[in-house]
Amino acid sequence: MKLKSIIVAASALAIVACQSNEMKPQQGYIGPSNLQIQDGHMTPEVLLSLGRISDPQLSPNGKTILYGVSYTDIAQNRSVRNLFTVPVEGGQPTQLTMDGKSISSARWAPDGKAIFFLQGGQLYKAAYNGKLGKREQLSDLAKGMDDYLLSPDASQIIYVSTVHSAVEVPADTDPLLDKAEAYATEDLMYRHWDHWRTEINHSYVASLENGVVKEGTDILGGEDVLFELPNGPFGDIADLCWSPDGKYIAYACKPLTGKQYAFSTNTCIFIFCPASGETTQITFQGGYDTHPVWSPDGSRLAWLSMERDGYEADKVRLMVGDVAFSDEAGVAVNDIRDLTADFKYNADGPVWAEDGKSIFFSALAEGIQGVFNVVVEAEDPAFFRLTADNLWFDFGSPFGVLQDGTLLTTYASMDFPTELAAVNDNAVRQITFENEHLLSQLDKHETEARWVETVDGQEMLTWVLFPPQFDPTKEYPAIEVCLGGPQGTLSQGWSYRWNYLLMCHQGYVVVLPNRRGTTAFGQPWCEEISGDYIGLNMQDYLSAARMIKDEPYVSGVAACGASYGGYSVYYLAGIHGDMYDCFIAHAGIFNEEHMYMTTEEMWFPNWDNGGIPMEFAYTEGQVGASGDGVTFGGLQQAGSPWSKKAEAVRHYANSPHKLVQNWHTPILCIHGGCDFRVPYDEGMAAFNAAQLMGVPSKLIVFPNENHWILKPQNALYWHRSYFDWLDRWMK
């Protein structure tokens, strides 16, 4: 058993941002919290009062970091993000803005003498000489821009906006019906995540040489092209990248629509030439190809890639190819190779070294997210872990490399949110201390990393957090957290929703098992959950529960989880006997048959519900069911409720809704009304079933929230309700 005290790498005194005497807060400005914590006790109010650092950018001279911090006002039910700088060696940050409306996507001009940023959907520029000068609005686009990317010399810009999709609204057929509200469609993917797809992303190229952004050139060819760029719902500007000379744009796009889009993850890499308007497709088959990045000299292109179509949790490979240019053939990428063929884990966030000889990237490895480096030209690529595995932090991808080899990155843990940090020789130097004035008031606690034996003799990493002032001679209730995904990892990351520090501060022992399906332990461990939701991963939860219940200081165990974790709660409620004393399911899947026919991304249930290997084909005009019950409407749906594949039949026969006759443990069901991934009637159905079975139960629906609960007062109510339910049945 490995025991480690809580680590908060911070200075003894809080460092408060310097605010210029010339700068005054604008109306609506929200600044850092001055909350005083009297008893050392973490509360939901403390959690929501923490400043949230994001999007660090290293200045061209390598001396200053530009970043944003969001602060929340619970009473106003809103957050505002403003800009700061800090020297790379650390010290007192300087606050650049005190606006009442959020500022995002701040970027340095190539000479470091100006800063570009977005506010209200438009692009601005301001001179910089240690503080911001007068702002100049550079765009006035009718639909605004969601994000942008400057060319290396800042003479051009890529910006993201929207075009009308194939989903019809009444005004499309009659302009006089502009007050009517309806959505009409004759194909799939008419909604995504939390919105009806009346608009989709397109990206544009425009000149910046005259200092004003006018309507740009659509990279995809025009609003009649109904592909997305960046891909929804979470694709961002990182799916596009300028070549170093500014002559080409590499981008990732899924060139599909309708049912094909809904059932496929086949996202490809393309290269676009703004001068000629020509587009070259680089990859063709497989799953997600995303995040293209050019080498510093433009001779190579790297990107992230999944091999199998329809499987969103396939191994994420780091690919690289040699770029060739010719007058006859244009641009091509040759000798494409997988640098991570012998690397056990998923690659993320690739960043080229300045000399172009190696690539930095992050990866979740054995429950910790570290930073790695791989040499591109090596015959047998060797991987160097630049953050030691005994550092219990999750590190982000580097955003800068100093001359002495120091990496500039972000890091966090279960005990503190994201801060800027420098890493060299496995030593971590924290640069910002945004929340030290609050975190230093909290009582300390302890965390263990336990390796729990599973029913088939394997070892499962399980984090255990203990309450402050833990006394092993006393009894405490325990919370077992059921991971969502179903693929993902319970690592040292910080969450403002499922916050484990907050849980242990309420007097609970918190148990975090990395069961089958987690992604930080190699692909075989990850894939044991697909098509087998009811199998060994459920036994893993029971193994972790037995482990903690055997401790004399544990009085009982609650199981809580969201999304697939909510599914896990609903399923465990039907099979657990007396293992658990209380349940909480957030956005959980309850009726797998109904879920298949109401969710939006069809590749996910088609693969995970038994369609393994993925069987996908589409023939225009093909209608009707085949004899095996798999093909319908031109789609081979091997994971559907009407499939006759043995894995699918078994999966649906054991849907949680078919086990409610066994329910007897108190359960809280929570759901967002704008959740289109797991529609909110799944939570209603589970609650109704519990009520009909006479099980103590409660339903909470947030009508304007999605899969997550994001608005400050809603989040506060969520946390309070969560602990009220646990305290009611566990204390």
Residues forming the active site: 563, 675, 707
Distance CA 77, CA 57 (A): 29
DSSP 460-473: EEEEEE--TT--TT
Distance CA 580, CA 572 (A): 9
Residues 6+ apart with CB under 8 A from 425: none
DSSP 26-52: PTT---------SSS---HHHHHHS-E
For residue 367 the two structure tokens come to: 């429950």
Type of residue at 39? D
Distance CA 140, CA 327 (A): 37
Alpha helices in 550-645 (DSSP H): 564-575, 592-596, 603-608
Question: Interior CA angle at 707 toward 705 and 713, to 5°?
Answer: 40
For residue 690 the two structure tokens come to: 């519990």
For residue 403 the two structure tokens come to: 């001359």
Distance CA 169, CA 153 (A): 42
Rounded to a whole number, what is the distance in angstroms from the first to the last CA of the chain? 28
Distance CA 103, CA 100 (A): 9
Do the beta carbons of residue 523 and residue 530 sit within 8 Å?
no
Which residue is listed with tokens 């022992």? 509
- List of E strands, 514-588: 554-562, 582-586
For residue 224 the two structure tokens come to: 């009649």
Tell me which residue of 56, 94, 90 sits closest to 428, measured CA to CA: 90
Tell me which residue of 600, 555, 605 sits closest to 581, measured CA to CA: 555
For residue 579 the two structure tokens come to: 């293992």
Distance CA 133, CA 136 (A): 9
R_g of the chain, CA atoms, integer Å: 26
